[in-house]
Amino acid sequence: MTAQHVDDNGLHIEKLDRRLRELSATFAGLGNTDDIEEMLKVIHAPGWTSQRDVFFVNAMLDVAQQTATNAAQQRAALRDGVLLIAEGTDS
């Protein structure tokens, strides 16, 4: 893409607006932790699991934690990039 202004009657802005709102809804949905609370109750039940199950759940927790951390970093990078672009257009 060139540095020229996009001339599509604002369709690119509408698409970016829609995608940012979808991302916002996704992050908002991630804020609900009812499922975590449910899992906490389950794992504390007597005789809950085997060593194999503990290994599997720990592996999945590692993946979920890293994914959440990456998502937060990517969100911050996206925000910072948009703000930097805005600074360049103010000139």
Instruction: Output the six-digit token pair for 71.
Output: 């998502």
Query: Residues 26-77: pLDDT tens digits?
Result: 999 888 899 999 999 999 998 888 899 999 999 999 999 999 999 999 999 9
Is residue 73 in some structural domain?
yes
pLDDT at residue 88 in the model: 86
**pLDDT of res. 1:** 44
How far, in Å, CA of 42 to CA of 83, rounded?
44
In a domain, 53, yes or no: yes
Q: For residue 90, what pLDDT is reported?
A: 67
Residue 84 lies in a domain: yes
Question: What is the extent of the structural domain holding 45?
Answer: 33-89
* Within-domain flag for 16: no
d(CA 24, CA 11) in angstroms, rounded, equals 20
4 within a domain of the structure (yes/no): no
pLDDT of residue 3: 57
Give me the number of domains the chain comprises.
1
Q: Where are the alpha helices (DSSP H) in the chain?
A: 11-30, 34-43, 51-89
Residue 78 in domain: yes
